[in-house]
Amino acid sequence: MDKKTRYSDEDLEEFRGIINDKLKVAHEEYSSTMRQLMNKDDNGVDDTSPTYNKVLDDGNANQSKEDMIQMVQRLQKFIIGLEAALLRIENKTYGVDRITGELIPKERLRVVPHATLSVASKNARKK
């Protein structure tokens, strides 16, 4: 029995659709988070709140800002991974485990479309 070395063009188009959908959502989340981070959605009532809560509010705001920065960084990494996956589709190398050279199961790629390792390869790498 001959092992498949790459996914068919039909399979690649299915994955392209999944990736494009995820990219659209990721870009929207990135833009929304950046607007919040830059206070673009601010309604301009910062100076109308009582000042006795100012210290607590500042601490919460700093933590919230740090959380948003981490989210932006994760989204950037996710977007880069998805864009790289689109390049692999163009090159017809999408879905090939970069360690073993075998095909990554479709089920994994549907859930984690930017994956470059099968679960087995990923687990073996951690050891």
DSSP string computed for 35-76: HHHTTTT--S-GGGS-GGGHHHHHHHHHHHHHHHHHHHHHHH
Please state, in angstroms and rounded to a whole number, the distance separating the CA atoms of residues 69 and 56.
Answer: 20
Domain count within the chain: 1
The CATH number of whichever domain residue 51 belongs to comes to 1.20.120.910
Domain containing 84 equals 9-126
The answer to whether the beta carbons of residues 89 and 108 sit under 8 Å apart is no
Element (H, E) at 34: helix 9-37
Query: Within a domain: residue 1?
Result: no
The yes-or-no verdict on residue 77 having pLDDT over 60 is yes
pLDDT in tens, 28-57: 999 999 998 888 555 555 555 555 555 555
The yes-or-no verdict on residue 85 having pLDDT over 70 is yes
Q: Evaluate if pTM is beyond 0.75.
A: yes
pLDDT score recorded for residue 64? 82
